[in-house]
Amino acid sequence: MGSDINVTLGNWSEWFMLLAAMTYMVVFVAFVWDMASHSKTLGLQEQRRAQKRAAAQQEDARELVGAGAVGSSAAGAEHPGSGRSVRATAAADAAPGEFRTTADNSTRGAGEFESLNYRRNARRPAARVAVTLMVIAFLLHAFAVVSRGIAADRVPWANMYEFCSTGALVVSGVYLVTLVFKDLRFVGPMVSGLVLIMLCLATIAFPTPVSPLQPALQSYWLIIHVSIAVAASGIFTITFAMAVLQLLQSRREKRLAAGEESRMGFLRAVPDSVTLENFAFRLNSVGFVFWTFTLAAGAIWADQAWGRFWGWDTKEVWTFVVWTVYAAYMHARVTRGWNGNRSAWLSIAGYMCVVFNFTIVNTLFPGLHSYSGL
């Protein structure tokens, strides 16, 4: 790695970063608009269905006694949101983590995240605009990050500006890739919002011109260690958003189950809390594996650079804290009394540690890792 710095390209990179940030802003607005309109449509549909059912029941009651049972089971099958009952029956019949022997029609749905599949009939123009724009924003953003790397003649993740902007790129990339497989447009407002915040942080709080690396950072471990760490953080960002939605959704479910009204109508466009929890767990497992790798790669790198693989440096402490919190989260899933809301809180706590590690520790704490260019 030499120190051939291309200033013109560096300037271009900064312009594209701004452009990408502006596009993300529009994406965010479009996603919020979609949430509003989509949940409204769902609300209307729900109302209509309820009216129809009421009317049908009145008619049935006149003609046929006992049809209510058929009616209600049909309604249950129609609702993807009946996952709560799955957890309840499963927990009652077998310890979680054991083989499940209870059959339930909706196990299939909850287990395979069917409610996260795209539905053909639902028309969501705003969401389409949002996703299309997000792809464009991602491309602009990718250009900005790659050109910065070329301008500095090294990987673009060696100071806070670059951690933030590259991290945001990864978040947006991970999100777009998962969108191909599953309909996660409901986390769109949160993900695009977080990406926007990261880009604003990069450009406003940590602006750094293109510069070469210090000797301690010149290692292929920088590429491996930091890229995996950033990827893990990207995944944790998305699961954080899902954990927040899960908490809100489970509150709403409880209210609805108690026959109360919920003011958070936009949650109609969000899957039920069990699906959220299960899907977030899949993503978090991948994130945890990445983080485990980050921890070890950091230790190997530290061994080469500083001659000890673990020395409780501030950054190492926080990497360890994040790892243990997520390890606790992994356990929570199979520990009685710790799944559901508590596991969502653990996921949020883990993410808070990631953010803390990334911002406060990098900037305010002294340590061997304070090369963040500030």
Partner 1 sequence: MTKARTPRERKAQRPDVELPTLGPVGMLRWAWRQLTKMSTALVLLLLLAIAAVPGSLFPQRVQDPDEVAGYIRANPTLGPWLDRLQLFDVYSSYWFSAIYLLLFISLVGCVIPRAVQHFKAWRSKPPRTPQRISRLPQYRKVMLGGRDGAAGPTPTEAVEQAAAALKKRGYRVQPQDLGSAAPSVAAERGMIKEVGNILFHVALLAVLISVAIGSLFGYKGQKIVVEGESFVNTLVDYDSFNPGTNFNPDSLNPFSVQLTSFEATFNRDTSDPEHYGQPTDFNADLTVREGPGEQPQDVHLAVNKPLNVDGTKVYLVGNGYAPVVRVKDGEGKVAYEGPVVTVPSDSVYTSSLTLKVPDAQPDQLGFAGLLLPTAVSQEGQIPKSVDPALNNPALLLSSFSGDLGLDSGQPQNVYVLDTQHLTELNSLSSGNGPLLLDGQHRTAQLPGGKGSVEFLDVKRYVGLDIHSDPGRIPAFISFLVAFAGLIMSLFIARRRAWVRATETEDANGVRCTVLEYGLLARGEDHRLGAEAEKLTGLWTSLWEDRGVREYHLNSSDKA
- What minimum distance in Å lies between the beta carbon of 306 and ligand HEM? 25
Nearer to ligand HEM, 28 or 326 (CB): 326
Spatial distance between the Cα atoms of 303 and 319, rounded to a whole number of angstroms: 16
Tell me how far, at minimum, the Cβ of 328 lies from ligand HEM, in Å.
Answer: 8
Task: Transcribe 138-197 into DSSP letters.
Answer: HHHHHHHHHHHHHHHTS-S-SSHHHHHHHHHHHHHHHHHHHHHHS--GGGHHHHHHHHHH
Q: Where on the chain is the footprint of ligand HEM (CB under 6 A)?
A: 97, 327, 330-331, 334
Q: Interface with partner 1 includes 57 (CB under 8 A)?
A: no
State how far the Cα of 364 lies from the Cα of 13, in Å rounded to an integer: 27
Region from 32-40, 136-144, 199-207, 276-284 binding partner 1, contact rule CB under 8 A = 276-284
Cβ proximity to ligand HEM, 128 vs 331, nearer residue: 331
Q: Determine which residue in the list 161, 269, 313, 362 makes contact with partner 1, applying CB under 8 A.
A: 313
Q: How far is the CB of 331 from partner 1 (least distance, A)?
A: 4
Question: Rounded to whole angstroms, how far apart are CA atoms 87 and 104?
Answer: 10
Residues 3-42 that bind partner 1 (CB under 8 A): 3, 5, 7
- Residue 355 binding partner 1, by CB under 8 A: no
Residue from 306, 352, 363, 374 in contact with partner 1 (CB under 8 A): 306
What number of chain residues touch partner 1 (CB under 8 A)? 72
Q: Which of 214, 224, 346 is nearest to 280 (CA)?
A: 346
Q: Are 228 and 297 in contact (CB under 8 A)?
A: yes
Please state the closest distance from residue 185 (CB atom) to partner 1, in A: 19
Among 97, 118, 132, 363, binds partner 1 (CB under 8 A): 97
95: contact with partner 1 by CB under 8 A? yes
Determine which residue in the list 98, 181, 223, 363 makes contact with partner 1, applying CB under 8 A.
Answer: 98
Nearest approach in angstroms of CB 294 to ligand HEM is 14
For residue 122, the SS3 value is coil
By CB under 8 A, the residues from 232 to 261 that bind partner 1 are none
Residue closest to 263 by CA, chosen among 275, 252, 274, 249: 252
Which secondary structure element, helix H or strand E, spans residue 39, and what is its range?
A: helix 7-63
Least Å distance, CB 316 to ligand HEM, is 16
Closest CA to 129 of 211, 57, 197, 34: 34
CA 199 to each of CA 25, 175, 214, 237: distance values in angstroms, whole numbers, following the listed order: 10, 16, 25, 14
